[in-house]
Structure 1
Amino acid sequence: MQPTNPLWHPFADMGAVDGDRMIITRGAGSYVWDDQDRRYFDATASLWYANFGHGREEIADAVAAQLRKLDSYNLFGYYANEPALKLAERVSALAPTPGSKVFLASGGGDVVDTAAKVARAHFFHTGRPEKTHFIGRRLGYHGTHGFGTAIGGLAPNRVGFEPLQEPVSHVPFDDAAALEAEIQRVGAERVAAFFCEPVIGAGGVQLPPPGYIEAVAEICKRHDVLFVADCVIAGFGRLGTWFGIDRWPVQPDMITVAKGITGGTIPLGALIAAPRVAEPFFTGKPGAPILRHGPTYAGHPVACAAANVTLDIYEREGLIARGRELEKPLADVLSGLISHPLVAEVRAGLGFLAAVDLTDDVLEADPGASGKLQRACREEGVLVRPLAKGFAISPPLIADEPELDLLGNAFPRALDRLELS
């Protein structure tokens, strides 16, 4: 049979997807509609990013106005534009470390790769070129670019692409002592950076054990290893703070953000670099090193205009704090699922996101059970993110009691549907 459309989807079995697409046609608030005009609660905020939902007219207006004024221009060399300058100032002012520099890019994968290159370049230009090794966490996810795929700890995402960027190694996601041991094994004189999501997202919403974030930050500092906090998912209210990592009393050397920085309206990412990391490139001295890196659309004026309005919305509506305010209500709504015979674990309670795992028996009997559960939730009017063992949710921060009630009713019914299928 000939394919119905040539569109190639990310992370998709195209033989199954083609002819069976779910076409989303519009969105408003916490809901989206398909081409049959059926409404769904967007319980994943699309792909972890529609933090204030959909259909914000003021962003559309700002984008239209910027397109009419200056539709595009690059930031290479000495070129700049007003929205990019304004956004960099605002993001830097929010950073945990005063005086941080802001490098703009097109999305999360871009800024993760930027962080990796900046880490190596920093040590190269400070006389330690042997510090090239990166350490990631098992189950960690850092996008799908070259460095991000290598540093990420999801083995299936590496299949078919190796050899990847080296040298890279991985440690258990929940064991700070394992990081110390790995730095000692490799040699601190060779390790450039450790990459850490405050809460692991795509790897299953894995919450850090108490004290873990503080411990790994201290270990990195003691061994002169750059601590890179990947806050692409965790940022902009998801954990109840601006960047997610600032929920803990630590000062990362670099922070990567994207997704929520525009509420997903236009692709944009930012690397926030502490002053000591950026210092070699900002000396102002003749012959100072140049970071020979940057995507074409770095600091795109239209994307930055959208981001500036996005920050206004977060501030005006008090949405950043919502991630913390809603974490317990969400955990309470999901807590009853653990008694369902198909459920092995529910992870929630740190930020407005959660995951539900099916039992090993269910997954062994039907390896496609997660996908079937996603469809069962869809039949109940809720869109979830399928995981290897179940599903994840990360609802818009504007969700409230009616949406939480919807989840509380929909998920048990979806599990019952799966049990009967």
Structure 2
Amino acid sequence: MTETVVSYARTPMERLEPSRFWHTFSDMNKVSQGPKFIVERAEGPWLWDDNGDRFLDGTASLWYCNVGHGRTEIADAVYKQLTALDAFTVYGDFANRPALELSERLAAHAPVVDPRVILTCGGGESIETAAKLARRYWAAEGRPGKRHLISRTGGYHGLHGIGTGIIGMDRFRSGFGPMVEDASVVPHDSVRALEEEILRVGPENVAAFFAEPVIGAGGVYAADTDYFTGVAEVCRRHGVLFVVDSVICAFARMGNWFGIERYGVRPDMIVFAKGVTSGYQPLGGVVVGGRIAEPFWNRSGNPFHHGTTYAGHPTCCAAAMANMDILEREDLFTVAYEVEAQLDAAVRTLADHPLVSEVRSGTGVMAAVQLTEEALGDRGITTAEVFAEARARGVVLRAIPHSLLISPPLIITWEQIDHLVSTLRSALDAVAQRHE
């Protein structure tokens, strides 16, 4: 395929200084002094900037645009709902039909025993909800000392207070002080390490263990086939709640509804967001097992004092229903397995590149291309350089300190996958040549 290097001429809007928009998750000292990459429109797996240049969205924005951009069915559902009921609280006994119907639909697909559904506005809020509910559940059961939360190295659980406290990457906790007491992190691939930590802390003190089906933002690390079976057994044996963070992995990205189905276990809670609406509206939630719900649903005077203003937002729920219709109608679950295999085959061709130390792929529509220590160290190469070179050639990826992450919309074609990978190879070549 012919290599295209995209022009970066910028419009007058981008030259306005100073910019007052604070980009989240960014070094504003750098971002504020350069031109902005303004995305004007999107369709399918493609983005167009304000200069009219086209880019392949190699990350489904942030892991969420599973059905692709520009789906008029979702836009129509949002418009229809806005003209009927824009929004209203679901506190107390208030409800709306989209929230009720979505909860039933999610519960019907969730691998959780006797599920109930709490709705939120996103993944970070959902982690807060699940963690607070885990602690509150044990208090309701007369065991308030069970507060400790355990997570995994590399695990990403959002950047709210509790999420920051249990995140498996130190760089996201640095400088904030303690976010949550009674928390610890164990190696992501060891059932034995989890059990040893539970015994060290004391099972009478541990509330819950949090894990992603595949570690996503931390670098795309898939578990061994029997890992989660072992985890579920350890948690059951020691009376620890097993909470699956499926924010990235759900809604067909792993070929099923919540990702964890690939491992044949039934967790106590599942946290979801992102792909539930494919990002068309902000929505998340927690699927809660009936055992955890019991003291709140079946005992009087025991409320769960937690919630958010926009939880159960009818317009967001309408978007989710339309998105789920697309997943089912187009059988993107089967498609995801096909795309998973094609992406795996294509991205593994990069393993022979001199700058690449490891390629991780093959479980879900996601992959990571890790650079060598020599490249990142002695040669002074950064993943940000490779990201910039790929974007200059028309492909948007995501850079973390040691790897380039890939998680395209599920509707990506084989030809587009090949384009993505060949462009990444060209970007690696350009960076290597620059540092010779």
**Counterpart pick for 2:308 among 279, 295, 315:** 295
- Specify the code of the residue in structure 1 equivalent to 2:428: L
Give the aligned partner of residue 20 of structure 2. Answer: 6
Aligned-residue CA RMSD (Å): 1.3
Instruction: Report if aligned partners of 1:136, 1:153 keep a CA contact under 8 Å in 2.
Output: yes
Matches within 5 A, 1:153-302: 153-283=168-298, 285-287=299-301, 289-302=302-315
Q: 1:312-365 CA deviation, whole Å, 9 max, x = no partner?
A: 110101012332222221111011111110001100010110000111111113
> Aligned to 1:135, what secondary structure does the other structure show?
strand
> Aligned to 1:189, what secondary structure does the other structure show?
helix
Give the aligned partner of residue 316 of structure 1. Answer: 329
**Length-normalised TM-score, structure 1:** 0.97
Q: Is 2:393 the counterpart of 1:393? A: no
Q: 1:152-173 CA deviation, whole Å, 9 max, x = no partner?
A: 1110000111111010011001
Q: In structure 2, what is the Cα distance between the partners aligned to 1:214 and 1:161?
A: 35
Q: In structure 1, what is the Cα distance between the partners aligned to 2:247 and 2:128?
A: 13
- 5+ residue gaps, structure 1, are none
Cα 1:366/1:279, change in 2 over 3 Å: farther
Q: Is 2:346 the counterpart of 1:333? A: yes
Q: Is 2:61 the counterpart of 1:46? A: yes
Q: In structure 2, what is the Cα distance between the partners aligned to 1:280 and 1:58?
A: 40
- Residue 370 of structure 1: how far off its partner (Å): 0.6
Q: In structure 2, what is the Cα distance between the partners aligned to 1:318 and 1:75?
A: 32
Q: Is 2:131 the counterpart of 1:116? A: yes
**Counterpart pick for 1:361 among 368, 374, 378:** 374
- Tell me the matched-pair count: 419
> Aligned to 1:326, what secondary structure does the other structure show?
helix
Q: In structure 2, what is the Cα distance between the partners aligned to 1:20 and 1:210?
A: 45
- Residue 368 of structure 1: how far off its partner (Å): 5.7
Q: In structure 2, what is the Cα distance between the partners aligned to 1:220 and 1:6?
A: 48
**Counterpart pick for 1:15 among 24, 29, 32:** 29
Q: In structure 2, what is the Cα distance between the partners aligned to 1:328 and 1:152?
A: 30
Q: In structure 1, what is the Cα distance between the partners aligned to 2:40 and 2:378?
A: 35
> Aligned to 2:319, what secondary structure does the other structure show?
helix
Q: In structure 2, what is the Cα distance between the partners aligned to 1:34 and 1:74?
A: 37
Instruction: Report if aligned partners of 1:333, 1:407 keep a CA contact under 8 Å in 2.
Output: no
> Aligned to 1:411, what secondary structure does the other structure show?
helix
Give the aligned partner of residue 86 of structure 1. Answer: 101
Q: In structure 2, what is the Cα distance between the partners aligned to 1:124 and 1:396?
A: 42
Q: In structure 1, what is the Cα distance between the partners aligned to 2:381 and 2:73?
A: 41
- Specify the code of the residue in structure 1 equivalent to 2:188: F
Q: In structure 2, what is the Cα distance between the partners aligned to 1:380 and 1:96?
A: 42
Q: 1:15-69 CA deviation, whole Å, 9 max, x = no partner?
A: 2112322111100001011111111110100000000110011111111111111
Instruction: Report if aligned partners of 1:92, 1:98 keep a CA contact under 8 Å in 2.
Output: no
% identity of equivalent residues = 48
- Specify the code of the residue in structure 1 equivalent to 2:19: N
- Specify the code of the residue in structure 2 equivalent to 1:72: A
**Length-normalised TM-score, structure 2:** 0.94
- 5+ residue gaps, structure 2, are 1-14
Return structure 1 stretches of 4+ with deviation > 3 angstroms.
365-368
